[in-house]
Structure 1
Amino acid sequence: MKTTSSLRLTTLALAALLAAPLAAQAQNIAIVNGKAVPKSRAEALMNQATKQGGQQRTPELEQQVRDEVVLREIFMQEAEKRGLAATADYKQQMEFARQTLLIRELFADFQKKNPVTDAEVQAEYDKFKAQSGGTEYRARHILVEKEDEATALIAQIKGGAKFEDLAKKNSKDPGSGENGGDLDFAAPGAYVPEFSQAMVKLKKGEMTETPVKTQFGWHIIKLEDSREAKFPPLEEVKAQIQQRIGQQKLAEFRDGIRAKAKTDYKFTN
């Protein structure tokens, strides 16, 4: 019985010794010149590619990452063999990289601990909505270079010619001319003062009786319609508002750290 037990123990010990390299191998992608390349290194690079690079995790990408990790180990070993890790330039570049990564972590940590709340988004949305209130106007226009051209076109329209047809044929505004002069709905502030002042005086369906001069030339303006200003629903602009508030918070955080620092250096701005 003792002999059988000893044999079993010896067999188990041998199996454990044989399994040890296999277990270690399972944790590594490869062995390069006797040095292990751990799977954790590939996983970290994969996370960087999928999270920061926006790539989808696929078998093809996983293979590319494994290839990249092993190649990096090969080239890194060669660089170290040549003594490049001891050069002043390498050490300086490593210091810059250390600073960049540490500062990035500082800001990422702040953003993680200070997320933009739904209440903040709602307050900012309400503020924008209040500022964007008022009336929007849908106008058409014909833009020409000379006053007498505009006057002649006004006469043609009064004589029965269609505004849209004359706009397509004569307007110098490439954006609206091919659409019959249609400018769609917009707030008066979207136009230069001379244009908006003439436009808001018109009633629906009316046209300016005389040409309107702006920095772009001479305009004939026709008001198609007006309405209360519309504002997109919160869900459509929530992401943009969150980003804007997040950037503001981060800027305030950076400025606060800079203001508290004791230094004799004078910044340019």
Structure 2
Amino acid sequence: MIHPFSKQRRTPWALALLAVCSGHVMAQTPPEVQQALAQPFVWVNEQAQPTALAEVLFREAMAKGTPSSPALRETVRDDLIHQALMAQDARAQGLDKNPLVQAQMALASQGALVRLWQQKVLAENPISDAAVQQEYQAQLAQWGSQEMLIAHIVVNDQDLAKRLISRIQKGEALATLAAEFSIDPDSKAQGGLVGWVGIQQLVPEVAQAIRQMAAQQLWSEPVRTALGWHVLNLQATRPVTPPPLDKIRPQLLELLAQKTLALKLGELRQKASIK
């Protein structure tokens, strides 16, 4: 669960953009390789199962850490045979005529093309060291110099939030009230404790209040967000040292790849006829 304080969201299409297949760009396969991939790998009931299918299974297995070996070849061969037998029987029963099955097959085919398109775009737009450094500096500017330990109670009613603030000011424990009243299940189980967060992780409404608070301070008014009304307590602060570039290089590369693909997709959408 993404915590309600977090501004970060990933849409399903953005996640799909990063589903790159083993780093191999197959969209421009040489003719001789295409010919080899079209050759039968195994025959099942007089139907050829092309080598390309075996190659896909080989790559999937090796991407999961299985080393190439004769045993893997036999496993792939058996998998192809079993899949072919089941698919042939499904067609014999007319299951391939089901509209939902046809839609699933179309989506699978489209998904393969999408992955190849992603690989081709990234191969044609390599990410430079300068771009990684620039993105790192941009992230540094957002991280800030300290983290905050925050506790809160979230309720649906503003008046209830005000009453809870008054009760805490009179000496009742926030943790006890959070366990009883909070509608945020994650922090409720921790006595209202959200944990250590950076200011960049907070939604604007919460960040605005936190910036004005000192350690161990209870904010005097409820703060409204999309989740509800927050009773905020800044328990402590500590300096934070940003991670070195090399440690987060993979995440930066992923982020830049996502931006590259999103930019290209945006160009396609601008030129597309969508009704």
TM-score (norm 2): 0.53
User: Which residue of 2 is the match for residue 178 of structure 1?
Assistant: 189
User: Which residue of 2 is the match for residue 267 of structure 1?
Assistant: 273
Q: CA deviation at 1:171?
A: 2.1
Q: CA deviation at 1:204?
A: 0.9
1:187-242 Cα shifts (integer Å, max 9, x gaps): 1661352x43333322111213x441415444332211224555443344322322
Structure 1 Cα separation of the partners of residues 129 and 53 of structure 2: 33
Structure 2 Cα separation of the partners of residues 225 and 153 of structure 1: 21
User: Which residue of 2 is the match for residue 49 of structure 1?
Assistant: 57
Please, which of 222, 235, 252 is the counterpart of residue 212 of structure 1?
222
Please, which of 180, 199, 203 is the counterpart of residue 191 of structure 1?
203
Maintained 8 Å contact 2:41/2:54: no
AA aligned to 1:137 is M
1:74-128 Cα shifts (integer Å, max 9, x gaps): 9xxxxxxxxxxxxxxxxxxxxxxxxx99998787566456543334322222222
Q: CA deviation at 1:137?
A: 2.7
User: Which residue of 1 is the match for residue 22 of structure 2?
Assistant: none
User: Which residue of 2 is the match for residue 244 of structure 1?
Assistant: 255
Q: Secondary structure at the match of 2:217?
A: coil
Q: CA RMSD in A?
A: 4.8
Name whichever structure is richer in helix by fraction: 1
Decide whether aligned partners of structure 1 residues 230 and 148 sit closer, same or farther in structure 2, where only a CA change above 3 A counts: same
Maintained 8 Å contact 2:153/2:181: yes
Q: Which has the higher contact order (CA 8 A, sep 6+)?
A: 2
Number of residue pairs matched by the alignment: 210
Please, which of 234, 238, 242 is the counterpart of residue 223 of structure 1?
234
TM-score (norm 1): 0.54
AA aligned to 1:162 is A
AA aligned to 1:48 is V
Decide whether aligned partners of structure 1 residues 61 and 214 sit closer, same or farther in structure 2, where only a CA change above 3 A counts: same
Structure 1 Cα separation of the partners of residues 114 and 154 of structure 2: 53
User: Which residue of 1 is the match for residue 244 of structure 2?
Assistant: 233
Structure 2 Cα separation of the partners of residues 102 and 152 of structure 1: 57
- Greater Rg by CA: 1
Maintained 8 Å contact 2:222/2:231: yes
Maintained 8 Å contact 2:223/2:231: no
User: Which residue of 1 is the match for residue 88 of structure 2?
Assistant: none
Is 1:203 the counterpart of 2:214? The answer is: yes
5+ long unaligned stretches in structure 1: 1-27, 75-99, 260-264
Deviates more, 1:64-73 or 1:136-145: 64-73
Maintained 8 Å contact 1:211/1:218: no
AA aligned to 2:232 is I
1:1-269 matches, within 5 Å, as 42=51, 45-52=53-60, 54-55=63-64, 56-57=66-67, 59-67=70-78, 108=119, 111-112=122-123, 115-133=126-144, 135-186=146-197, 187=199, 190-193=202-205, 195-208=206-219, 210-215=220-225, 216-228=227-239, 230-249=241-260, 267-268=273-274
